[in-house]
Amino acid sequence: MTLRPGDPAPDFTLQDTHGTPVHLADLHGEPVLIVFYPFAFSGICTGELCELRDNIEDFETAGVRLLAVSTDSVFTLKAWQQQEGFSFDLLSDFWPHGGRSPGPTASSTSRTVTRCAARSSSTPTASSAGAW
């Protein structure tokens, strides 16, 4: 599935590292950045998510909720979250592998895709939070 700016973000329900379901529809109206990455514990993905971790205050200040989605199991994500100290939600799209992941990176506000990219480095601000 290819998403373009302006497309509705498809609803999904995925488990977090505690096995708790997270429903995108429950976040309706809340600025949300959804980051899709392939593998926990890999060098590139660890570096990218550590960059998000190290700048989490920027997201919090802008009121943006960060969701990171991979095809790893809940158990793998929990171990990785504890090892790296991630305070944001890691969601498991384990089975079918990648069944909910629309592409490498998507971000949404009010369930409308406002930006899609294969790789992106952006820091949200209070004034740009609506663009997420």
The answer as to whether 121 is a domain residue is no
List pLDDT tens digits, range 64-101. 999 999 999 999 999 999 999 999 999 999 976 666 66
**Residue 102 clears pLDDT 90, i.e. is over it:** no
What lies within 8 Å, CB to CB, of 37 at 6+ separation is 45, 48, 49, 68, 69, 70, 104
Domain range holding 64? 13-116
* Count of structural domains within the chain: 1
- pLDDT band at 3; cut points 50, 70, 90: confident
State residue 108's pLDDT score.
Answer: 43
The answer as to whether 74 is a domain residue is yes
The answer as to whether 109 is a domain residue is yes
Q: Which CATH number goes with the domain that contains 35? A: 3.40.30.10
The answer as to whether 48 is a domain residue is yes
| 116 classed as catalytic | no
The answer as to whether 21 is a domain residue is yes
Whole-angstrom Cα distance, residue 96 to residue 112?
Answer: 24
Q: Would you call 59 helix, strand, or coil by DSSP?
A: helix
The answer as to whether 32 is a domain residue is yes
Q: pTM of the prediction?
A: 0.75
What b/e readout covers 48-79, taking b as 16+ CB neighbours within 10 angstroms? bbeebbeeeeebeebebbbbbbbbbebebbbe
Output the six-digit token pair for 57. Answer: 């205050």
The answer as to whether 6 is a domain residue is no
Q: Which of 32, 45, 62, 77 is catalytic?
A: 45
Whole-angstrom Cα distance, residue 40 to residue 48?
Answer: 11
